[in-house]
Each structure stands twice: as structure tokens, then as C-alpha cells.
Structure 1
Amino acid sequence: MCAREYLTFDDTWAGYLRWAHRLPPAPPPVTPRQVSGIAEIIGDFDAVILDNFGVLSLGPPVIPQGAAAYECIRKAGVAVRVVSNDGSKGIAAMCESHRARGYLFEEAEIFAGISLLEDSLPPSGNGYWAAIGLDPSLIPAGAVDVRAWPGEEADIDGAAGLLLLDCDDFWRKDFAPVLESFKRHPRPVIVGNPDLTAPYSDAMSLEPGYLAHQLADETEIRPIFLGKPFAPVYELAMRDLAHIPPERVLCVGDTLHTDVLGGRARGMKTLLVETGFTRGKDPLALAEESGIWPDFIAPSI
């Protein structure tokens, strides 16, 4: 974690407000109901969509209330989907990480923006794409040639497009050559992780969404965002649960502009927890400022 660049809450929040025009429009306001946690309301729903960072974990550490909440959800017999914006690893690796924390999800219950990569990348033969945060195992067979940038085999000026997956040890200052290249020659940009930040136990990291919006500000490019709050990842996650009315689905998350906005834009109910991005802040004040209102607010899941 020491290699990552960190953001402040104020910097990240200002970004979410400044770039809201690239997100789905905010649904009509609702009056949030304060609850103790998911156990208080689970009986009103037939499916639950869970975020990971800030809800189940803070990176490696598990949210203390997570184990009891997991057991409560399983005992209620509701369908479970974990929808993450993590662009650093594949679904199998995500499943292993959850299991190591005591959450026994199946791979078929886990979805992420990168689940849409196969349908988003062009076929091979169209030149190579540069990728920031590349894990080669994420690239589907038959897709375009994808090369890690920075790297010896990827010249940013020669790339046919840019794939933003994970920042890890990549900092904002490292992005300057990419910005200059894409200003001179606009090309497609696909963002596997639309988050601006991820809440770790003691800091908030820089994530690809921040870089993508910065690039969009300085070019005429409209990035393709694959994860929350955009509709396709929800459609994929709920494909086998289409018989459940949206109002019987509860989306649990820690961020208004991703988890709450994405769920409410699909007609689902939302629970904002205060253990991640919003920790130490007044959630009602944030909802008022952003115009994005959750149906429920709880101290933790």
C-alpha cells in the first residue's frame, strides 16, 4: 500500500461533484430512514447487491460487522450479488479474497466492471492498446493486443486506445504523458474501474475514474465506464434475477455517486453505510449537496 498515491476526502468529493455531469442523472429525492444495519430491513427484499470496499472490507481488513451481516443475509435466503468496481483482478481472484475474509461467495455471485471487458474491447488486428494497471489474465482471448503502460513494448503515442484498470503504484503526475498524447491524438478510452477513490483503513487511494475524468476534461474524449454507477454492470449482475422487481432489490454501498446513484437509477432501494468513503462525515449533508439520496442510512452493514 505504501506505493499508492492517496487522495483527501475533500479532493475526491470535489471531483464527484465536478464530474457528476458524466454520471447518470440523480433520481428524485427521498427521505432516508436511519437503521441499525441490514438485519433490520433484510425481510423487505428478495435480493441484495453488496459493494466490497467500505462495506465488507477496507482492503485486507474486514469490516467488524461484516461477518454477522453476511450470516444474516444468508439466513434470510435472499439472492446475493457482489458488484465491485475493482479493476485489478479477475472474478476468481476476487472470490478467493472474499473467502480469505470469511465471506463464502460463489464466483457466480460476483460481478465487476471488468466482467464487461470482453464485449467492450475491439477484436484483435486493430493495433495494440495501452493499459494502466494491466493484469494479463483479465484480457479475454481473441481481444485486441493489450500492453502494459508504462512499459518497453507500449509507446503511448502508438496505442490505438487506453484501458484504465488499476492505479496501484501509478500517480497523477505519471499521467501527464498520457494526457498530452491523447490531446494531440484523441482515441478511445475504456475504464474498468470508474471509482475516484477506494477507502482503505487509514487512507483513500487514487483510482482510475479520477484519471479518466481528468482526461475527459482536457480532451474531447468521452470515456467508456464499465462499472458502477452505470447500467450495464447492474444488468449483467441481475440477468438471472430479472424476475425480481427492482424495488425488491437492496443495494448496499458506502459512496453516493456510485453505489447509491447506480442502484436508485435502476429503481432499486439503497442502503448507505458509514464505514467507507463517508466515514466521519454527515451523510445527510452530503446527500443534500450532491442531490443523491439513499433510502436507508446505517452506521455499518
Structure 2
Amino acid sequence: MMQPSFLQIASTFKAVFLDSYGVIKNYNGLIEGVPQAIESLREKGIAIRILTNDASRSQEQQAEGFYKLGLKSIQYHEIITSGMMAKQYLQHKILHGKIGYLGTENSAQYILQSGLEHIAVKDINLDDINDITAFVFLDDEGFDWNYDISKTVNLLRRKNIPVIVANSDKLYPVSKNDVAVATGGIAKLVENMLTKKFIHFGKPDSQMFMYAFDELNQFGTFNKNEILMVGDTLHTDVLGGNKFGVKTMLVLSGNTRADHADAQIDASGIIPDFICSSIGI
């Protein structure tokens, strides 16, 4: 059943975790009413953290992007990205060799700062891969879809190395009715072809929620039952929040359409605690 007001529900919590794309912004920019909703949360003393599976930009770049859209109150420490989690893993686990990647140079510069050399899959010579010690799916741009995905498959067939997926999203909306394939969708395709299991970061896995929870508690004392996770996707935002043990809200301003929501909830078994049209309404 549709709940009457995001703010009415959110006001009963001490902290709100917000997904970014589909909740705060979309293909048109900021979703209507979002700046006012964010300001209302701040006036009530409710802590805000943005949890995004966008691994292509740093916290500072994300905050700058919100500022340019007109949302000027978001601080970089309030943003937690799946790229941060992947970056930490690489820094601690991959200690030698080169890291191959599929994605843009910008995201590679941000995530692959482990002190090791990184190399785009288009520049890898498949006959000389001894020094490739890990591979990362970064984002869905910056490569030739007709050539580099197949090259990735052949690299990973030839060499058994850790494979990291920095963004688990399978798709994202590009208009009211249409979506595009995201990094997680490409990775899942390759994973299924190779019958291998990659290392996924971002929602619905718990690393990002745990990081956000620990970071939040540096500024006060927060229990899980005092936190609301708000997202537009059942299989990432809502499932991740449910698994972590916080209350969850599905908003219908992004990936999940109002006319499909009930059927998708029934089919998936992923049940949000609340459903609203948008945080801006």
C-alpha cells in the first residue's frame, strides 16, 4: 500500500540512507522536491548518508555533481560509494602486478590507486598476460562493447585471477520507460559465461552498509532500528537494507515503476517496509 508521505515516515528515524540515482536525481537532473526534502530532514536533525553503486567518481566528485545540480548541502563525507569499497579491497589484497579494467580512465584513476599499474582491457595483449594479477569491472563506458567485452571473456578464460565488480547495478533508467545496461549487468553476463564467481561490491552486499553505519556512529550513537534505507530498486537498495537489518522504503521515482511494483515485490519476495512515490512528495 502506498504510504502518504516520505517526510512523515522519515521523521520517525534518526538517520536516513538514500540511494542516489532514481531517488535524488535522474536523467533530467534533481527529482522534483528533493532539495526541500533534504532541507526538512536537516532541520529535524536527521542524519543523511548517500549510498550509491556509482563507482565512476570519488566522494568529492559526487558532491561537486550534486552542487552543480543545485543540491548544495551535501558534504563529501556523507557520500559512500561502491568504488570506495572496491578501492579498499584492491589496496589490501592486490600487492603486485598490473590491474586490468573495463571502464573509463577517470574511474580507473579514482579506484585503482593502489600503487600498482592499471591497464585498460583494450591495451592488454592476450599473448602477454603474465603480469595481470587482477581484473576490475568499473563502469559501462570507456570501451568498445563489440570488442572489449569479448576480449575480457578471453582474458579471464586464459588466466584465473581475482575479478572485482565495483558496481553491482545491472541496469539504470535513461528515460521514463527505458533503461540501459550497467556494469553489474555486463559482469553478470561474463560471470555466467565463465561459470565463475566474481567479488561484488555495493548494494545489496553488506560492506557499504557496514561502512556507512560505522561512519555514522562516529558522529553519535545510532542503532539499526533508527535508520531508514530509501531506494528505487528492490534487488539492491531494499534487499541490502533488509539484509543489514534496517527499515527500508521503496520509492517509485526510478527503476521500479508504480504499475509494476506490487508484481515485482510478489515475484521477488523482497518486501520493503514502506512504499512512496518519491522523497520529494
Equivalent residue for 1:127?
97
Give the superposed CA RMSD. 2.0
Which residue of structure 1 lines up, in the alignment, with residue 46 of structure 2?
Answer: 78
Shift in alpha-carbon separation, 1:156–1:98, aligned structure 2, 3 A: farther
One-letter amino acid of the counterpart of residue 247, structure 2:
K
1:265 and 2:243 equivalent? Answer: yes
Q: Could you tell me which residue of structure 2 aligns to residue 290 of structure 1? A: 268
Cross-structure match for 1:118: 87
Q: Does structure 2 retain, via aligned residues, the 8 Å contact 1:196–1:207?
A: yes
Q: TM-score, normalised by structure 1?
A: 0.82
Once superposed, which parts of structure 1, at least 4 consecutive aligned residues long, lie more than 3 Å away? Answer: 122-125, 139-143, 169-174
Bigger relative contact order (CA 8 A; separation at least 6)? 1
Tell me the equivalent position of 2:197. 222
1:93 is aligned to 2:61: yes
Give the % identical residues: 30
- 2:211 aligned counterpart, secondary structure: helix
| TM-score of the pair, normalised by structure 2 | 0.88
**Using the alignment, how far apart are the partners of 2:81 and 2:256 within structure 1?**
22
Any conservation in 1 of the 2:84–2:111 contact (CA below 8 Å)? no
- Contact residue 112 and residue 118 of structure 2 kept, 8 A: no
1:210 aligned residue: 185
- Say which SS state the counterpart of residue 25 (structure 2) adopts: coil
Task: Render the CA deviation track for 1:232-281: whole Å, top value 9, x for unaligned.
Answer: 11111111334312121101100000000001111111111111001253
Indicate how the Cα distance of structure 1 residues 59 and 155 shifts in structure 2: closer, same or farther if over 3 A, else same. farther
Contact 2:102 2:142 in 1 (8 A): no
Distance 2:60 2:126 in 1: 30
Q: C-alpha offsets along residues 58-98 of structure 1, whole Å, 9 cap, x if unaligned?
A: 14511112122212211221111000000111111000011
Amino acid paired to 1:228: K
Amino acid at match of 2:194: T
**SS across alignment from 1:201:** coil
1:53 aligns with 2:21: yes
Aligned to 1:12: none
Matches within 5 A, 1:1-301: 33-59=1-27, 61-103=29-71, 104-121=73-90, 126-134=96-104, 135=106, 136-139=108-111, 141-151=113-123, 154-155=124-125, 158=129, 159-168=132-141, 170=143, 173-174=146-147, 175-202=149-176, 203-242=178-217, 243-301=221-279
The amino acid across from 1:282 in the alignment is H
1:42·1:76 contact (CA, 8 Å) conserved in 2?
Answer: no
- Cα distance in 1 for residues equivalent to 2:141 and 2:227: 33
Shift of 1:161: 2.0
User: Which residue type is aligned with residue 180 of structure 1?
Assistant: N
Could you list the runs of 5+ residues in structure 2 that have no partner in the other structure? none
- The answer (yes or no) to whether the contact 1:129–1:163 under 8 Å persists in 2 is yes
| Distance apart, 1:222 and its partner CA | 1.5
Deviations 1:86-140 (A, max 9, x none): 0111111000011112222101100011112332115676211111114243135
> In the alignment, is the contact (CA less than 8 A) between 2:94 and 2:133 conserved in 1?
no
5+ long unaligned stretches in structure 1: 1-32
Tell whether the 8 Å contact from 1:272 to 1:294 is kept in structure 2 after alignment.
Answer: yes
Distance 1:236 1:125, change over 3 A: closer
2-side partners of 1:292 and 1:170: how far apart? 34
